[in-house]
Amino acid sequence: MKFGVVIFPGSNCDFDSYQAIKTTAVGDVCYLWHGSTSLNGCNVIILPGGFSYGDYLRSGAIARFSPIMRAVVDFAKKGGLVIGICNGFQVLLEVGLLVGAMRKNLGMRFVCKDVYLKVENNRTRFTRKCPDGKALRMPIAHAEGNYFADEETLKMLHDENRIVFRYCDKKGDINPENNPNGALENIAGIINKEGNVLGMMPHPERACERILGSEDGRFIFESIVAERVE
C-alpha cells in the first residue's frame, strides 16, 4: 500500500499524517503537492488537517478547486480510498464526495482537546480493526466541526449506516455534554455510499504513539491495510 498525503497551502497536519504512516508501518508514504495533477501511484489518499488557503471564504471551499483535487475526485469515483481528516473532511464536503456541510462550532470556540469516539460502524474499510464497543480516544482541533445535513440527507446516512463516528464519553455513551462543537447528533465522521471515502474531524494521525497519549488512531490506519472481511 502506498499512502499519499496532499499538501495544500496552509495544511499543517501533513507531516503528522506522514509520520503516522511511518510509525504504524502500514505502507509507503509520499507527499502530493496541491498543484500536481498526478497521484503518483498512491492507493490511499490522505487529505490532512490544517487551514488550507487560510480557511478563506469557508474551510475547504478553495482547496476543492486545487488541481490535485480533480485527480482525487477521479480516483475516488473509481473506488480509490480517500480519508479526509479535519480540514480534509471539510474539503471532502465542499467537493461533494461526502454529504452535508460544516458550520462554525456552537459556542464559537476553536476546540482543541482529546475526545472519545464511538465507532458506529466497524465494518467499513477504515474501521474494521476497531474493537467492538471500544470508545476511541483521539484529539480534535477545529473551529468548524459543527456538522449539518438536512433531514432527508440525515435519514439517508442513517438508513445506509454511513455515520461512522459519534462523539461520546469514556464509556461510549452519546449525550449532549460530550458534543464538543454542536454537530448534529454528535456526528464526528461519515462515509460515502460506496464506502471508499471517509471524513472525520478527530485526528487519528495524532494518536498513534503512546507518548502522544493514545494509540487508538492506529486502528484506523491498520483497518485501511487489513485484509478485507466481508
Partner 1 sequence: MAKYTVKIEVRFKPGVLDPQGETIKHALFNLGYDNVESVKTGKLFWVELESNTVENAIQTVRQLADKLLANPVIEDFEVVSRK
- Which stretch in 28-36, 145-153, 169-177, 217-225 sits in contact with partner 1 by CB under 8 A? 145-153
- C-alpha grid cell, residue 114: 482529546
Q: What is the longest distance spanned by two Cα atoms in the chain?
A: 44
Nearer to partner 1, 24 or 90 (CB): 90
CB 2 within 8 A of CB 38: no
Site residues (CB under 8 A) for partner 1, limited to 159-198 = 182
Least separation in angstroms between CB 124 and partner 1: 23
Choice from 58, 129, 134, 137 touching partner 1 (CB under 8 A): 58
Site residues (CB under 8 A) for partner 1, limited to 102-121 = 103-108
**130 is an interface residue for partner 1 by CB under 8 A:** no
Find the catalytic residue in 42, 86, 130, 208. Answer: 86
Is 112 an annotated catalytic residue? no
Nearer to partner 1, 62 or 97 (CB): 62
Which of helix, strand or coil describes residue 128?
coil
Choice from 27, 31, 43, 61 touching partner 1 (CB under 8 A): 61
DSSP 28-71: EEEEEETT----TT-SEEEE--B-GGGG-SSTTTTGGGSHHHHH
User: Virtual CA dihedral for 39, 43, 49, 51, nearest 10 degrees?
Assistant: 20
Nearest-angstrom CA–CA distance, 13 and 49: 5
Which residues here bind partner 1, judged by CB under 8 A?
A: 57-58, 61-62, 65, 93-94, 99-101, 103-108, 146, 148-150, 182
> Looking at the annotation, which residues are catalytic?
86, 203, 205
